[in-house]
Amino acid sequence: MTDETTSRIPTFIREAVAKDLKNGRFNYIRTRLPPEPNGYLHIGHVKAFLIDYFTAQEFGGELYLRFDDTNPSKEETEFVDAIKEDAAWLGIEWAKETYASDYFDLLYDWAVKLVKLGLAYVDDQTQEEMSASRGTLPKGTKWSETESAIKPGIDSPYRNRSVEENLDLLERMKNGEFAEGSRVLRAKIDMSHPNLLMRDPVMYRIMNAHHHRTGDKWHIYPMYDWSHGQNDSMEGVTHSLCSNEYMIHRPLYEWFLQKLEAFPSRQIEFTRLNLTYAMMSKRKLRKLVETGVVRGWDDPRLTTLRGLRRRGVTPEAIINFVTGLGETKNDSYVEMAQFEAIIRDDLNKRALRRMAVLHPLKLVIDNYPEGQVEEMEAVNNPEDPSAGTRKVPFSKVLYIEQDDFRETPPPKYFRLFPGNEVRLRYAYFVKCTHIVKNEAGEATEVHCTYDPTTKGGDAPDGRKVKSTIHWVSAEHALPAEVRMYAQLFTVERPDDGELETIVNPNSLEALEGYVELSLANARVGEPLQFERTGYFTPDLDSTPEKPVFNLTVSLKDTWSKIEKKG
């Protein structure tokens, strides 16, 4: 049974499914995940994937992964593999992998059945003719500036062909006897139906493209409406869960299955996920990749699953985010900040803490013995004692962040400035004595003295410092490239804008910094926190000589807020 408090699927779906089980409409549950293999998965797909997966799971049913490969001109095997890999990474398990194309033969038989029933016909009209005879939507909708009222469609002159002629024509369409685009098979429903989809929708079109699985066997390929519901039914899918835009297709979905007297799969719709600053449009995503705005489909600035993975976002964070959104049928736009909060929450619990200096400034401890090296014990994760501790080498010359020193401190600035004492994390108290400047007047070296009695970070005399800063030992540090990311887009809803005007030219900044030696063999994808900076993960561009890190998400930075307010 499902537990109301832990359910990960929308309430209205859970209730509908439970009811179907209770009143005997179905005695088992099967859902399907229907990606079209024409692109990479992004965060927008995840919601559908998870709802399908968890619905099956919560009701002890199973999930089929069915590739919707009905349009050979757009689909490629490359994407099939990528989608499977991404779905598996997310943790989704499917009972069976199928393809719409597995059912092409059966589907054709069903079409013949419909023709024999007098419910489908071959139409010889051109595409323009068909479009013109479909009728119009009324004024006020974005498609009609001129018509004041909805206009019914006009019956095709070929609508009343005999069953025999239709059967013959359909057979010949299948055999490749006709030119591409010259004829279609249409369902015979109602050309004046208020729902335009019911005005004799196209079932098959002629295409001579090579299909990634069926090769050159077929010359006709089914449309979405004449495939999806039929496949659901053929597979015994009980609940076909899809986004709200398909709501208008439901009457057609049901019409076909009723006329066919086929297994009555049920379509239920939910609101798709919209995320601010995330691009979901496949067309635009492709353009970003092809024009080199980003470095590939797995660019960490993208909200593709591959991009998120490379960025260091875990599957758990993604699942927590999506399932935690709750559900209504409202159109909605979720703020990226909410996603980031979940990512931080997830990483806070699991990321190993490390020290890394992103904008190095040399700090010299004048009274520290030349050549001495001490191993300081550092906690790996204060949120998780079982993560243990590590040793970090400490010596006379260190690097600290440029930001952690000001020659003339602003109000409420507690870090290093001449005369001020701070704690070097896990090491000693140091007090700034003087600085060395270059010709431009910039500080190039900060000189300090340390208090040997404060080893470990506490003063025996009980005095306090207001700030703790991080550091790496210059002699023992590892040079590293650290890639800092900002929003890729300058507008909240990039899907609505023109690419040329909405791309943030400063979304990537590659820093040359220094990191703890222990990071030399960090695993690609491993979650890390650079203390006081943010969450990072090693990128696959890393080499043994020079690791590369991606910023996953920054730590909440309250100082910058204080500073902004002045």
Partner RNA sequence: UGGGGCAUGGUGCAACGGCAGCACACCGGCCUUUGGAGCCGUGGAUCUUGGUUCGAAUCCAGGUGCCCCAGCCA
Q: CA–CA separation, 350 vs 352, rounded Å?
A: 7
Is 558 near RNA (CB under 7 A)?
Answer: yes
Choose, by CB under 7 A, the member of 117, 149, 373, 436 that binds RNA: 149
Least distance from C-beta 188 to RNA, angstroms?
A: 15
> Pseudo-torsion of CA 404, 406, 407, 412, nearest 10°?
-120
Judged by beta carbon, residue 22 or residue 561, the one nearer RNA is 561
**Cβ of residue 35: shortest distance to RNA, in angstroms?**
8
Task: Give the span between the Cα atoms of 3 and 59, in whole angstroms.
Answer: 11
3-state helix, strand, coil in the chain (%, to 5): 30, 25, 45
326 counts as binding RNA under rule CB under 7 A: yes
Token pair belonging to 96: 């069976």
Q: How far is the CB of 366 from RNA (least distance, A)?
A: 22
d(CA 416, CA 445): 12
287 scored as a contact of RNA (CB under 7 A): no
Region near RNA per CB under 7 A, out of 89-97, 160-168, 387-395, 456-464: 456-464
**Nearest Cα to 65, choosing from 42, 41, 27, 98?**
98
By CB under 7 A, what part of segment 156-175 binds RNA?
A: none
Q: Assess 88 for contact with RNA (CB under 7 A).
A: no
Q: Considering the rule CB under 7 A, would residue 143 count as an interface residue with RNA?
A: yes
Q: Please give the residues from 396 up to 415 whose contact with RNA meets the rule CB under 7 A.
A: 412-415
Q: Shortest distance, CB of residue 116 to RNA, whole angstroms?
A: 22
- The stretch near RNA (CB under 7 A) out of 245-253, 292-300, 360-368, 439-447 is 245-253
* 510-548 residues labelled b (16+ CB within 10 A) or e (exposed): ebebbbbebbeebeeeebbbbbbbbbbbbbeebeeeebb
Q: Which residues of 268-294 are buried (b: 16+ CB within 10 A; e: fewer)?
A: bbbbbbebbbbbbbeebbeebbeeebb
532 lies in the binding site for RNA (CB under 7 A): yes
Applying CB under 7 A, does 108 fall inside the site for RNA? Answer: no
Torsion of CA 93, 99, 102, 108, to 10 degrees: 130
Helix axes 77-90, 43-58, angle to 10 degrees: 60
462 binds RNA (CB under 7 A): no
Residues 46-75 binding RNA (CB under 7 A) are 68, 70-71, 74
For 99, 177, 208, 349, 365, the CA distances from 71, given in Å and listed in that order, are: 12, 20, 11, 45, 69
Amino acid identity of residue 123, one-letter, is D
- Assess contact for 81 and 265: CB atoms under 8 A: no
Judged by CB under 7 A, the number of residues near RNA is 101
| Residue span binding RNA (CB under 7 A) among the ranges 109-117, 119-127, 362-370, 507-515 | 119-127
Q: Which of 119, 130, 191, 443 binds RNA (CB under 7 A)?
A: 130
Distance CA 288, CA 294 (A): 6
With binding defined as CB under 7 A, does residue 208 bind RNA? no
CB of 412 to RNA, least distance (A): 5
* 177 counts as catalytic: no
Stretch that binds RNA, among 199-207, 289-297, 497-505, 506-514 (CB under 7 A): 199-207
C-alpha triplet 327, 314, 391: angle, nearest 5°: 145
Give yes or no for a contact between 428 and 454, defined as CB atoms under 8 angstroms apart.
Answer: yes
Residue 224 in contact with RNA, rule: CB under 7 A = yes
Q: Which two tokens stand for residue 542?
A: 């890393």
Give Cα 303 distance to the centre of its chain.
4
Q: Tell me the C-alpha distance between 21 and 15, whole Å.
A: 10
In the complex, the smallest distance separating the C-beta of residue 384 from RNA, rounded to whole angstroms, is: 10
Residues 329-348 that bind RNA (CB under 7 A): 329-335, 337-338, 340-341, 344-345, 348
Among 77, 160, 175, 182, binds RNA (CB under 7 A): 182
Question: Who contacts 355 (Cβ-Cβ below 8 Å, separation ≥6)?
Answer: 378, 392, 425, 470, 471, 472, 515, 516, 530, 531
Q: Among residues 130 and 541, whose Cβ is nearest to RNA?
A: 130
Work out how close the CB of 487 gets to RNA at its nearest, in angstroms, rounded to a whole number.
Answer: 15
Instruction: Report the SS3 class of residue 171.
Output: helix
CB of 159 to RNA, least distance (A): 14
Contact flag: residue 389 with RNA (CB under 7 A): no
Work out how close the CB of 251 gets to RNA at its nearest, in angstroms, rounded to a whole number: 8
- How would DSSP label each residue in 476-534? G-EEEEEEEE--SBSSS-GGGS-HHHHB-TTSEEEEEEEE-GGGGGPPTT--EEETTTE
Among the options 134, 282, 286, 493, which is catalytic?
Answer: 282
C-alpha distance from residue 559 to each of 172, 366, 477, 566 (Å): 73, 29, 27, 11
235 in catalytic set: no
Binding mask 482-521 for RNA (x = CB under 7 A): ----------------------------------------
Which CB, 298 or 401, lies closer to RNA?
Answer: 401
Give the active site residue among 272, 284, 390, 431.
272
Q: Which of 267, 529, 537, 550 binds RNA (CB under 7 A)?
A: 529
- Our CB check for RNA shows the closer of 295 and 499 to be 499
Whichever of 22 and 142 has its CB closer to RNA, that residue is 142
CA distances from 238 to 21, 102, 224, 228, 538 (A): 10, 19, 18, 13, 43
- The answer to whether 25 is a known catalytic residue is no
Q: Least distance to RNA from the beta carbon of 334, Å?
A: 5
Q: Which residue out of 36, 76, 407, 526 is catalytically annotated?
A: 36
Single residue of 246, 471, 485, 489 touching RNA by CB under 7 A: 246
247 near RNA, judged by CB under 7 A = yes
Q: Which of 88, 106, 163, 248 binds RNA (CB under 7 A)?
A: 248
Q: How far is the CB of 100 from RNA (least distance, A)?
A: 7
Does residue 457 interact with RNA by CB under 7 A? Answer: yes
Kindly state the tokens that stand for 268.
Answer: 């239920």
Query: Is 148 a residue that touches RNA (CB under 7 A)?
Result: yes
Q: Which residues are catalytic?
A: 36, 272, 282
